[in-house]
Amino acid sequence: MAAYDQDLTHEHKKFENIIWEGKTIAGREFFDCHFYKCSLKECIFIDCVFDKCTFEECDLSLIQLKQTAFSRVVLQYSKAIGISWHNANNPLTVAFHDSRLSYSSFSGKNLKKGIFINCQADEVDFTACNLSLSNFEGTDLAGARFSDTDLTQANFVGAHRYAINVNENKMKKAKFSLPEALSLLYGLDVEIVE
């Protein structure tokens, strides 16, 4: 790691083209930092804080979170594949824009007002999450799991390839667009005739 990596607290810093792949990073705090084109693949974050940080065109795939907090964090045009977000400290507030979140798990997290806009979120586990008032606009949710999930007033307009069982989730006032909304009928054991 470079000399600046020895600092425990980072405020208002820009990290550009940093490669920390497979490293263990412990006891660090990042406040209002911008990570640009960084690769943090397979890093282990222990007792770290990311507050009001932005990750732009970064790769965070397969990171491990142990006693680590993400608060008011934005990921845009980034990869965050295979992350067990359910291991992050509460509250978890991350907004995802134009990013790939495939094979990640948010199981049991309170993600009220969560932002997942224009993302690739295939095989993501949202089991037992609070996703009320969340926005999934334009997101591909192929194989994503929603079970015992609160989707009250969630926005799925423009989202596609989701399979949500209306009997297993809270759906009051959730918004969907056609033709994708027809997939909500499949869990109702009804026959659809053209």
Would the CA dihedral through 6, 7, 9, 14 be positive or negative?
A: negative
72 contacts: CB under 8 Å, gap ≥ 6: 51, 52, 53, 93
- Write out the CATH class of domain 105-189: mainly beta
| Of residues 130, 43, 52, 133, the one with CA closest to residue 80 | 43
Return d(Cα 88, Cα 67) in angstroms, integer.
Answer: 6
Q: Residue 191's pLDDT is what?
A: 74
Q: Residue 102's pLDDT is what?
A: 97
Return d(Cα 124, Cα 108) in angstroms, integer.
Answer: 13
Return d(Cα 57, Cα 125) in angstroms, integer.
Answer: 23
- Write out the CATH class of domain 9-86: mainly beta
Return d(Cα 76, Cα 55) in angstroms, integer.
Answer: 6
Contact 90, 111 (CB under 8 A): no
The H-or-E segment that residue 45 falls in is strand 44-46
Q: Residue 159's pLDDT is what?
A: 97
Per-residue pLDDT of the chain (194 residues; tens, 9 = 90+): 454 567 899 999 999 999 999 999 999 999 999 999 999 999 999 999 999 999 999 999 999 999 999 999 999 999 999 999 999 999 899 999 999 999 999 999 999 999 999 999 999 999 999 999 999 999 999 999 999 999 999 999 999 999 999 999 999 999 999 988 888 877 777 777 77
Name beta bridge partners: 69: 49
The beta strands (E) that lie in 62-189 are given as 64-66, 69-71, 73-76, 94-97, 115-117, 155-156, 175-176
Q: Which pTM does this prediction carry? A: 0.92
Give the number of residues written for the chain: 194
Contact 109, 89 (CB under 8 A): no
Domain boundaries, the chain: 9-86, 105-189
Q: Residue 3's pLDDT is what?
A: 44
Asked, colleague to colleague, whether 9-86 and 105-189 share their fold, the answer is yes
Q: Residue 5's pLDDT is what?
A: 64
Name beta bridge partners: 75: 55, 96
